[in-house]
Structure 1
Amino acid sequence: MSQEIINLLEAIEDELRNQNVWAQMPPSIEALSSTTPFCMDTMHFSQWLQWIFIPRVRAILDAGGSLPTGSDMKSYAEEALPMERLSSQKLLNLIEKFDQLMN
C-alpha cells in the first residue's frame, strides 16, 4: 500500500505543477503554524497540499510509521479548489483515491 500512496503523492504534486500552483517559496512560519484544519485560515488548499500534507505523509512513510485511518479531504477539496480557480476534477479524483485508501 505504501507504494500506492507514494504514487498518489507524486500524482498530486504533478497535477499541482501542471496547474502552475507549485510554489518555490514556502508560506510564512505563521501560515505553516496554523492549527485550523487544512490551514484554511492562512493558506490555499493547494498550498496546504504542497507544504503540509505531502511532506507529512512522506515523512510518516519514510519513518516506517503508520498513516492515520479515516480521511475525508475530498469534501473540503470540493469547496476549496474551485475558489482557487483550479481545474479540480483530476485533483479531486486523486484526493478521493487517498481517502479511500485511508478508510
Structure 2
Amino acid sequence: MMYVELKNQLVELEKQLKLLQLWSAQAISAQALASTAPFACDTMTFEQWLQFIFIPKMQQLMAAKMPLPTNMAIAPMAEHVWQSMPERHSIIELLRVLDALVNQ
C-alpha cells in the first residue's frame, strides 16, 4: 500500500515541478550525475537533483521492490534552498509528505 501512495506522491511532485517550470526537458550531463556531494549541490540545482536523481532512484527501488530509505529528510533541504521563494512552498509540503510516508 505504501508503494502506491509513494508512487502517487512522486507523480504529484513531477507535476508540481513542471507546473512551476522547474522540470528540464534537457538531460543532465554524466559529470553532474557523478557528484558525490549531498544533493549533488556542487553540480546541479535542487530541482535538478529531484528530477534526475531522487525521483528516478525512488522509482527504481519501488520497481525492484527493494527497501526504501529509512531516515529520509528531503523537505529540510528544500526549505533551506527555497525559503525565500513562496511559490515553491507547495513542493516543500509535498516533500514533507514524502519524508513522512517513507519514514513511517
Say yes or no: TM over 0.5. Answer: yes
Offset from partner CA, 1:43-83 (integer Å, 9 cap, x none): 01000000000000001100111101011111111121357
- The 4+ residue runs of structure 1 with deviation greater than 4 A are none
Match of 1:19 in 2: 20
CA–CA distance in structure 1, aligned partners of residues 11 and 29 of structure 2: 24
Say if 1:29 and 1:5 are closer, same or farther in 2 by CA, change over 3 A.
same
How does the TM-score come out when normalised to structure 2? Answer: 0.91
CA–CA distance in structure 1, aligned partners of residues 101 and 36 of structure 2: 25
Equivalent residues, number? 102
Match of 2:98 in 1: 98
The answer to which of 86-95 and 50-59 deviates more is 86-95
Identity among equivalent positions (%) equals 35
Q: Which amino acid aligns with 1:94?
A: L
CA–CA distance in structure 2, aligned partners of residues 102 and 21 of structure 1: 24
1:88 match: secondary structure: helix
Match of 1:4 in 2: 5
1:75 and 2:85 aligned = no
Q: Where does structure 2 lack aligned partners over 5 or more consecutive residues?
A: none
CA–CA distance in structure 2, aligned partners of residues 88 and 20 of structure 1: 11
CA–CA distance in structure 2, aligned partners of residues 82 and 50 of structure 1: 20
CA–CA distance in structure 2, aligned partners of residues 12 and 81 of structure 1: 15
Q: Deviation at 1:86?
A: 7.0
Contact 1:38–1:48 under 8 Å retained in 2: yes
